[in-house]
Chain A
Amino acid sequence: MKVVVCVKQIPDPNTTGQLDPTTHLLKREGVEVVLDPGDEFGVEAGLQLVEAQGGEVTVVSMGPERGVDAVRKALAMGAAKGVLISDDALRGSDALTTARVLAAAIRREGFDLVITATESTDGYTGVVPQMIAELLDVPAVTFAKTLEVDGTTLKVKRQTEAGFDLVESALPAVVSVTAGVNEPRYPSLKGIMGAKSKPLDRLTPGDLGLDGAGGGTAGQGITGVEPAPQRAAGSIVKDDGEGYKLIADFLAEKKVI
Chain B
Amino acid sequence: MLYIRCCLDPIPPRYREARVNFDLSDEQRHIRDVVRDFAQAEIAPAAAHYDETGEFPYPLVAGMARLGLFALPFPEEIGGAGGDFISYCLAMEEIARADASCAITLEAAVSLGISPIVRFGSREQQQRWLAPLMAGQQLWAFGLTEPDAGSDAAATQTRAVRDGDHWVINGRKAFITNAGTDISAGVTITAITGSQNGHKEISTIAVEQGTPGYSQAPKYRKLGWHASDTRELIFEDCRVPVGNLIGAVGEGLTQFLQILEGGRVAIAALSVGVAQACLDASLAHSAARRQFGVPIATFQATQFKLADMGTQIELARLMTWRAAAAIDAGKSAAPWASMAKLHASEVATACANQAVQIHGGMGFMEESPVARLYRDVKINEIGEGTSEVQRILIARHLLRPYEVLEADRGN
Spot the interface stretch: B24-32, B223-231, B392-400: B24-32
The answer to whether the Cβ of B37 comes within 8 Å of any Cβ in the partner chain is yes
A166-193 vs B, Cβ < 8 Å mask (1 yes, 0 no): 0000000000000000000011111111
Spot the interface stretch: A68-76, A111-119, A221-229: A68-76
Once A69-B26, A72-B30, A186-B37 are accepted as A-B contacts, the answer to whether A193 and B82 lie under 8 Å apart by CB is yes
Compute the total of residue contacts between A and B using a CB distance below 8 Å. Answer: 47
A15 to chain B, nearest CB (A): 15
**Which residues on B sit within 8 Å (CB–CB) of A187?**
30, 34
**Which residues on A sit within 8 Å (CB–CB) of B87?**
189
A98–B240 CA distance with the chains assembled, in angstroms: 67
The answer to whether the Cβ of B270 comes within 8 Å of any Cβ in the partner chain is no
Contact: A192 with B66, CB < 8 Å? Answer: no
Contact: B26 with A189, CB < 8 Å? Answer: no
Q: Which of B1-46 contact A (CB under 8 A)?
A: 26-27, 30-31, 34-35, 37-38
The answer to whether the Cβ of B67 comes within 8 Å of any Cβ in the partner chain is yes
Contact: B38 with A189, CB < 8 Å? Answer: no
Once A186-B66, A188-B66, A188-B68 are accepted as A-B contacts, the answer to whether A193 and B27 lie under 8 Å apart by CB is yes
**Which residues on B sit within 8 Å (CB–CB) of A186?**
34, 37-38, 66-67
**Which residues on B sit within 8 Å (CB–CB) of A24?**
none
Can you list 8 A-B contacts (CB < 8 A)?
Answer: A187-B34, A188-B66, A188-B67, A188-B81, A189-B69, A189-B81, A190-B71, A196-B26
**Which residues on B sit within 8 Å (CB–CB) of A195?**
30
**Which residues on A sit within 8 Å (CB–CB) of B69?**
189
Seed contacts A190-B71, A196-B27; 20 additional CB < 8 Å A-B pairs? A69-B30, A72-B26, A72-B30, A73-B30, A76-B30, A186-B34, A186-B37, A186-B67, A188-B66, A189-B83, A190-B68, A190-B82, A191-B68, A192-B30, A192-B31, A192-B34, A193-B76, A193-B82, A193-B83, A195-B30
The answer to whether the Cβ of B72 comes within 8 Å of any Cβ in the partner chain is yes
Contact: A189 with B66, CB < 8 Å? Answer: no
| Prevailing SS type, chain A contact patch | helix
Which residue of chain B is the closest to A68 with respect to CB atoms? B26
A195–B67 CA distance with the chains assembled, in angstroms: 15
Contact: B81 with A193, CB < 8 Å? Answer: yes
**Which residues on B sit within 8 Å (CB–CB) of A196?**
26-27
Range of interface residues on chain A? Answer: 10 to 19
**Which residues on B sit within 8 Å (CB–CB) of A73?**
30
A186-209 vs B, Cβ < 8 Å mask (1 yes, 0 no): 111111110110000000000000
**Which residues on B sit within 8 Å (CB–CB) of A190?**
68, 71, 81-82
Interface size on B, residues (CB 8 A): 20
B319 to chain A, nearest CB (A): 24
B319-356 vs A, Cβ < 8 Å mask (1 yes, 0 no): 00000000000000000000000000000000000000
A192–B34 CA distance with the chains assembled, in angstroms: 9
B385 to chain A, nearest CB (A): 28
A185 to chain B, nearest CB (A): 8
The answer to whether the Cβ of B91 comes within 8 Å of any Cβ in the partner chain is yes
B191 to chain A, nearest CB (A): 35
Which residue of chain B is the closest to A32 with respect to CB atoms? B33
Contact: B71 with A189, CB < 8 Å? Answer: yes
B328 to chain A, nearest CB (A): 14
Q: Which of B192-234 contact A (CB under 8 A)?
A: none
A190–B30 CA distance with the chains assembled, in angstroms: 11
**Which residues on A sit within 8 Å (CB–CB) of B37?**
186
B82 to chain A, nearest CB (A): 5
The 4 closest A-B pairs by CB, nearest first: A189-B68, A190-B81, A188-B68, A190-B68
Which residue of chain B is the closest to A187 with respect to CB atoms? B34
Which residue of chain A is the closest to B73 with respect to CB atoms? A189
A76–B30 CA distance with the chains assembled, in angstroms: 9
**Which residues on A sit within 8 Å (CB–CB) of B91?**
189
B82-122 vs A, Cβ < 8 Å mask (1 yes, 0 no): 11000100010000000000000000000000000000000
A128 to chain B, nearest CB (A): 26
Which residue of chain A is the closest to B81 with respect to CB atoms? A190
Q: Which of A47-86 contact B (CB under 8 A)?
A: 69, 72-73, 76
A188–B68 CA distance with the chains assembled, in angstroms: 6
| Residue picked from B30, B38, B76, most chain A C-beta under 10 Å | B30
A103–B68 CA distance with the chains assembled, in angstroms: 35
Cross-interface CB contact of B67 among A72, A189, A193, cutoff 8 Å: A189
| Residue picked from A190, A191, A196, most chain B C-beta under 10 Å | A190
Which residue of chain B is the closest to A77 with respect to CB atoms? B34
A188 to chain B, nearest CB (A): 4
B92 to chain A, nearest CB (A): 12
**Which residues on A sit within 8 Å (CB–CB) of B34?**
76, 186-187, 189, 192
A76–B35 CA distance with the chains assembled, in angstroms: 13
**Which residues on A sit within 8 Å (CB–CB) of B72?**
189
**Which residues on A sit within 8 Å (CB–CB) of B66?**
186, 188
B98 to chain A, nearest CB (A): 14
